[in-house]
Amino acid sequence: MGAQMIAVDTNILVYYMVEGENTTLAQKIKERDPEWIIPPLWKHEFINVLAVIHMQKKKQGKDLTQYQSVWEDALMLFSESETPVDMSKALDLAIKNGISGYDAQFVVMAEDLDVKLVTADKELLRKFPETAVSMEAFANGSDFKFVKEKRAEYGKKVKDSH
């Protein structure tokens, strides 16, 4: 299967940029599909995650100076991947599905562009199986339909023409 555009959540970006247990998996995702899209929200989430990592490392007495350069590198790599999101749709989706407004932005963006959302978020994987796909499944080459079909409408009565 050739490369397609995919949406990725902020955790995937962090795994890609900050060396850790999921870095190799994030790199495989990028190799399989180098065209990533993300909502503008990613910057806020990304710096929050870096700050949390910083606090955890500080408690462990580890060097923290690299996080400013990680932030700058992320800006260079991902700023052009920013894709606008219909915020009204995101609010509606969040309320109807009991998810955060942040998560809803990623889902709406992916659904509006008919692309997969690669995520580590178990709730999104469960609630949006047509859109969300796990890191492992995507990285390991599972084939997915990138073109979505319309949902079937059940329960409508068809008039009898006889």
Q: Digits of tens for pLDDT over the chain (162 positions)?
A: 445 899 999 999 999 999 999 999 999 999 999 999 999 999 999 999 999 988 888 787 776 668 889 999 999 999 999 999 999 999 999 999 999 999 999 999 999 999 999 999 999 999 999 999 999 999 988 655 444 444 434 444 444 444
Expressed in angstroms, the distance from the first to the final Cα of the chain is: 48
Q: For residue 148, what pLDDT is reported?
A: 41
Residue 57, class by beta-carbon neighbours within 10 Å (0-12 exposed, 13-18 middle, 19+ buried)?
Answer: middle
Nearest to 15 by CA among 125, 135, 143: 135
pLDDT for 152 equals: 38
Which of 105, 127, 38, 103 has the alpha carbon at shortest distance from 75? 38
Output the pLDDT for position 60: 78
Q: What pLDDT does 3 receive? A: 57
Considering the domain 6-139 in this protein, what is its CATH number?
3.40.50.1010
Length of the chain: 162
Residue pointed to by tokens 């995520």: 119
Give the whole-angstrom CA distance, residue 121 versus residue 60: 27
Q: Distance between CA 70 and CA 77 in Å, rounded? A: 10
Res 21: pLDDT: 93
| Nearest Cα residue to 120 out of 14, 3, 5 | 14
